[in-house]
Amino acid sequence: SSGINAEWPLRPGKPILEVLVGKTIEQALMEVMEEEELANLRAQQRQFEELRHAELVETQRLEEQERRHCEEKQRRMAQQREVLSIEAETARKIAARAFAQNYLSDLVPSVFGALSENGYFYDPVAKDVEGNFVPWLLSRVKENMGHVLLSRVMVDELIRAVCDKRIPQA
């Protein structure tokens, strides 16, 4: 058997039922193998999809972790900038206060001295003594001096009168 009949399953001496059963079994085995291969391919596809999904989930988790890390870093950097800003402001305030105190330390005594010299600050007892007691005392002294002067003039006149009376008699 050669040529066209070489591939023909029916050969002389082979029963037709056996050929049909063999071909059917062969076809069934081919279909089962194809189904198994398809099942394997689906399983591999499913496994690949699961792996891909797991990698995608892991990638998303890592990206989210990186995003949170960057946000935390930005937040801390902002906090650090704020702390540095507050420290700089505090240093400026301290320097301004020191400058003001230094400036005022010389200014305050000179202002108080000038005000004291101009009579804005005074001792009430001294002012009362100078304003009331001393003028009263001076008026009393002047009055007494007037009496003393009058007394001297009178004593001088008495002495002169007595001397005048004694001198002519001698």
pLDDT tens by residue, 95-143: 999 988 888 888 878 887 888 788 777 788 888 888 898 999 999 999 9
- The rounded percent of the chain whose pLDDT value lies above 70 is 90
- According to the model, what pLDDT value does residue 13 have? 64
- The rounded percent of the chain whose pLDDT value lies above 90 is 58
- According to the model, what pLDDT value does residue 1 have? 46
- State the residue for tokens 């200014």: 107
Distances (CA, A) of 60 to 53, 64, 72, 147, 168: 10, 6, 18, 120, 150
Average pLDDT over residues 41-46: 95
Distance of CA 144 to the CA centre of its chain: 80
Give the pLDDT band of residue 8 (cuts 50, 70, 90). Answer: low
Q: How many CA atoms lie within 13 A of 151 on its CB side?
A: 6
Evaluate if pTM is beyond 0.75.
no
Query: Taking all residues of the chain, what is their mean pLDDT, rounded to a whole number?
Result: 87
